[in-house]
Structure formats: C-alpha cells, structure tokens
C-alpha cells in the first residue's frame, strides 16, 4: 500500500519553463490537494479537488493549474515557472467525509533559477 | 494562517520530559483539527485529531487540548524521546475538506 506517491522528487527549472508535478493515491480517496511549503513556513493550499472532475482554488493558486485526471491522479502544472515558485510541493488526499485526516506524499523539491 | 517568516518557534526539551506545543487557529467556524509531525525531508504525518465537540483527546503518549473560547490548541507529548524531534503543525478544517495549516513549531529533544 503506497499511499500518496509524488513524482518527481527533485526538479530544477529555468525561469519560463513549464512542468507538471504528478500525484497518485491508492486509498480510494475522493479529495486531493496540492500544497506548497516555503522555508520556515506552514503549508499553503494551492488547489484542491473534492471529487473526480472538480477542482477549486486554494490560498495561493496564481501561476498554477491542476487536472484531476481520474479518482487516483491529481496533477499540478506550472505553465511559466518563476523563481517565486521555488518551494517544496506536497500532494495530499483525504476520505469522503468531512473531518477525515489528510495523507501526504513525500514532496517535490522544485528550484526555479 | 499568518506566516511567521523564516524562523520557526523552537521548543527545546530534555529527553524524558513532557513537551507542550501550542497553536492558535484562525477561524471560529473550524470544526476539526489535526496535529501533524514533519521530519526533515518528509511529508507531514498524522499524529492525532480532535473535533470541535470535544475538549480533550488522548492517544499514545500524546494529548490534544482544544479551547474554542480563545481558539487555541495544544499538543502534549509525554516522556519526549529523541525520535520526537521534528516540526509540528496544527491544521484546521472549516471549509468542506480544506485544511489550513499553522506555521509550525520545531521540537528539539536533547539527549
């Protein structure tokens, strides 16, 4: 049981390049999330998906797009990377009901130069 | 939640002592709270949760206290061990299933 799997683990981009961060969960969870974590700070919600086919903005959505490809997969895309997007990105998933914990992946460390 | 910038609050305790980590949450409508532990280079891991209809919940070596009047959570760790060294975050849930995180407290356990 892998839980939440993110790829890649590390990535370096040049300013203006694009890339997609992949996330998959095998827990049959309806809700999935993308967070970013900057040094010394908590996690900030970028986008979330309450169920397959739906997505919604979180606290810091600018510069990102997401796709809920199916129930298992939720991808995060940076269309034109900027140095301000240098961060560690975490994907998470949680069960159907409100009030269930979120399970996190191991993170993707992204550096934009 | 508001950021506290680059420097996390740090709590240093001696191995075997009890630790108390505090968190102020932002929304009085929050009805579910979680404490997460994050070790260096890893994603956050669930420790314990509590719903707003409770004041206290106990787990193995951990206790969470909730004071809704002042919007405050605390995490108590009994007999702190070196393996407890990590950053601890509280998270609140008030909007469907979105979780909002505090900025974290670094726990440093001295042997």
Nearest to A98 among B4, B32, B41 (CB): B32
Cα A25 to Cα A97: distance, rounded to the nearest angstrom: 17
A102 falls in which pLDDT band (50, 70, 90)? confident
- Answer whether A103 sits within 8 Å of B42, measured CB to CB: no
- Answer whether B1 sits within 8 Å of A42, measured CB to CB: yes
Residues of A with a Cβ under 8 Å from any B Cβ are: 4, 31, 33, 35, 39-45, 48, 50, 58-59, 90, 92, 94, 98-107
Nearest to B96 among A35, A98, A103 (CB): A98
pLDDT tens string A1-43: 679 999 999 999 999 999 999 999 999 999 999 999 998 778 9
pLDDT at B7: 63
Sequence-ordered strand ranges (E) for chain A = 4-7, 10-13, 19-25, 31-37, 43-49, 56-57, 64-68, 74-78, 87-94, 102-104, 108-112
Whether the pLDDT of residue A49 is over 90: the answer is yes
**B69 within 8 A of B6, measured Cβ to Cβ:** no
pLDDT at A97: 63
Residue B35 structure tokens:
């404490």
Residues from chain B that touch A92, judged by Cβ atoms under 8 A, are: 43, 99
Residue recorded with tokens 């979680």: B34
Q: What is the average pLDDT score of chain A?
A: 93
Residue A106 structure tokens:
């191991």
Cα A87 to Cα A17: distance, rounded to the nearest angstrom: 16
Angle at the Cα of B60 from the Cα atoms of B79 and A105, rounded to 5 degrees: 105
Whether the pLDDT of residue B88 is over 90: the answer is yes
Residue A44 structure tokens:
């900030």
Q: Is B82 helix (H, G, I), strand (E, B) or coil?
A: helix
**B32 within 8 A of B49, measured Cβ to Cβ:** yes
Whether the pLDDT of residue B5 is over 70: the answer is no
Nearest to B43 among A98, A101, A105 (CB): A105
- Answer whether B45 sits within 8 Å of A99, measured CB to CB: no
pLDDT tens string B93-110: 877 667 888 889 999 999
Average pLDDT of the residues in B63-73: 96
pLDDT tens string B30-55: 989 999 999 998 999 999 999 999 99
Residue among B9, B32, B11, B51 at smallest CA distance from B99: B32
């Amino acid at each position: 049981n892998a839980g939440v799997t993110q790829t890649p683990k590390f990535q370096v981009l040049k300013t203006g390049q694009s890339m997609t961060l992949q996330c998959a969960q095998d827990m049959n969870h309806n809700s999935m999330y993308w967070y970013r974590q900057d040094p010394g700070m908590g996690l900030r919600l970028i986008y979330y998906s309450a169920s397959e086919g739906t997505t919604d903005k979180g606290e810091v959505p600018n510069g990102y797009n997401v796709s809920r490809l199916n129930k298992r997969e939720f991808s995060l895309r940076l269309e034109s990377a900027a140095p301000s997007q240098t961060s560690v990105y975490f994907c998470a998933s949680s069960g159907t009901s409100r009030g269930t914990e979120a399970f996190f992946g191991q993170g993707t460390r992204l550096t934009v130069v | 939640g508001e950021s506290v910038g680059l420097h996390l609050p740090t709590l240093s305790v001696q191995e075997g002592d009890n630790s108390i980590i505090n968190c102020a949450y932002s929304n009085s409508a929050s009805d579910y709270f979680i404490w997460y532990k994050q070790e260096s280079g890893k994603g956050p891991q669930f420790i314990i949760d509590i719903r707003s209809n409770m004041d206290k919940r106990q787990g193995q070596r951990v206790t969470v206290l909730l004071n809704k009047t002042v919007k405050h959570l605390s995490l108590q760790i009994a007999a702190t061990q070196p393996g407890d060294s990590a950053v601890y975050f509280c998270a609140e849930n008030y909007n469907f299933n979105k979780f909002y995180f505090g900025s974290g407290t670094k726990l440093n356990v001295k042997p």
